[in-house]
Amino acid sequence: MPVTQVLTSPGDVRAWSDGVRCDGERVALVATMGALHVGHDSLVSLANEHADRVLVSIFVNPLQFDRDTDFDAYLRPIDDDVARCERLGVDAVYAPTASAMYPAGFETTVTPGALADSMEGAARPGHFAGVTTVVTKLFAAVRPDVAVFGEKDFQQLAVIRRMTADLDLGVEIVAAPTVRESDGLALSSRNQRLSDEQRFAAVSVPRALDAAVVAARAGERSSGPITAAAMAVLERTPLARPEYMTVFDPETCQPLDAVAAGARIATAVWFGDVRLIDNRAL
């Protein structure tokens, strides 16, 4: 089995990446917070299609959590994650400590624009500034040719694309389709924290989005009845506590009153203290 190098400092990552590029090879970054699952496997396999070498970063980024309890509860099975990367043939893992990423005196952050104001940005103040800051630091350390992000975090993908263009970061951003369980639940590290009962109830999330798609395909153009059709599914599910259900423009991530070309619907739903997000094209 190929050996996956485990790097822990920005300097080591830069040296690794410089070496790869000196050999004339392209580097792909798959940025993760660990607790890797089949969804991440698909990001790695897409990364392999776009580059000669793949680096997976594993860092639970404190800056993007709006609640300490969520940050503390986030799973950190680092040995399993490295073993999984090894099985996948990943060339290097970058797993910095919090103090390597944010040394004493750290105070510079990257502030996203209006794309980050709605949905996840509105529900989790400061979340996207945490994401853009850490992704900028990862891009600066790894200097990848290409980086792969999942469409499950659709707004994150849009914010990162915009930031990469606005700041001339020179990284090609590739979108990976959402990977789902057989019942439709989008794969997420957070699924592992659901009780059996909550996991059973969580299927209401993709079913709610299905109901929205059915309404749109039946000719409904107005966002109100489309979101109402989706919310009705969640309201029938006692364990589900929806936070938002929004029809939005994929370019601006702003809510739409009526479905236009390319419109999507996104939701965040709580099951106990686990918050799941998902989205679909309408």
Q: Based on CB atoms, which residue is closest to ligand PAF, 138 or 269?
A: 138
Sign, CA dihedral 277-265-179-5, equals negative
Q: Residues 136 to 155: which contact ligand PAF by CB under 6 A?
A: 153
Q: Is 91 in the site for ligand PAF (CB under 6 A)?
A: no
Q: Is 31 in the site for ligand PAF (CB under 6 A)?
A: yes
Using CB under 6 A, pick the residue from 7, 116, 134, 208 that binds ligand PAF: 134
In order, the DSSP letters of 78-129 are HHHHHHHHHHHT-SEEE---HHHHS-TT--------GGGTSHHHHHSTTHHH
Residues with active-site annotation: 40
Quickly list H helices, the chain.
10-22, 38-50, 68-73, 78-88, 98-101, 119-123, 127-142, 154-166, 196-202, 204-217, 223-235
Q: Is 33 in the site for ligand PAF (CB under 6 A)?
A: yes
Which of the stretches 6-14, 107-115, 131-139, 244-252 binds ligand PAF when contact is defined by CB under 6 A?
A: 131-139
Half-sphere exposure of 13 (CA within 13 A, CB side): 27
Using CB under 6 A, pick the residue from 32, 132, 191, 279 that binds ligand PAF: 32
Q: Is 239 in the site for ligand PAF (CB under 6 A)?
A: no
Q: Is 135 in the site for ligand PAF (CB under 6 A)?
A: yes
Tokens of 93: 């893992």
Q: Which residues bind ligand PAF (CB under 6 A)?
A: 31-33, 61, 64, 131, 134-135, 153, 156
